[in-house]
């Protein structure tokens, strides 16, 4: 599996940096964001180092499908019952800060949001 020794998410996959894991399988690691924007904020990352969504190839279709199908299952397990948001920032202009493909999933009550 491709790995970038300087990538913080690759280091999390390799257990060199601790994380609060939610799910792990042969392809994906899911953990809580250390700077959450919502009561529940998790990151889904492939164990394979792919720098961004712009670098996806046809052979990654099943991996991306797996990530997308997993989100509602995990959010339900984490108690999110009234909807959630998914975000994939791509590239510098797209707001990507860590250049290892990742999907944010955020949910839970937000009392500061407009009603």
Place of tokens 């099943």: 62
Catalytic option among 41, 49, 100, 102: 102
Closest by Cα among 34, 67, 20 to 48: 67
Tokens of 115: 């009603």
Tokens of 51: 């720098």
Tokens of 54: 């712009």
Measured at the alpha carbon of residue 114, what is the angle toward residues 112 and 115, in degrees to the nearest 5? 115
Using DSSP's 3-state secondary structure scheme, residue 31 falls into: strand
Check if 102 is active-site.
Answer: yes
> Which residues are known catalytic residues?
102
């Amino acid at each position: 599996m491709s790995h970038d020794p300087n990538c913080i998410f690759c280091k999390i996959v390799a257990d060199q940096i601790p994380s609060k894991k939610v799910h792990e399988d042969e392809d994906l690691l899911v953990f809580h964001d250390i700077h959450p924007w919502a009561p529940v904020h998790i990151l889904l990352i492939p164990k394979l180092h792919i720098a961004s969504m712009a670098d996806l190839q046809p052979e990654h279709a099943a991996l991306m499908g797996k990530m997308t199908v997993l989100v509602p299952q995990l959010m339900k397990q984490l108690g999110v019952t009234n909807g959630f948001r998914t975000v994939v920032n791509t590239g510098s202009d797209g707001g990507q800060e860590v250049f290892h493909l990742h999907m944010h999933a955020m949910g839970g009550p937000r009392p500061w949001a407009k009603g």
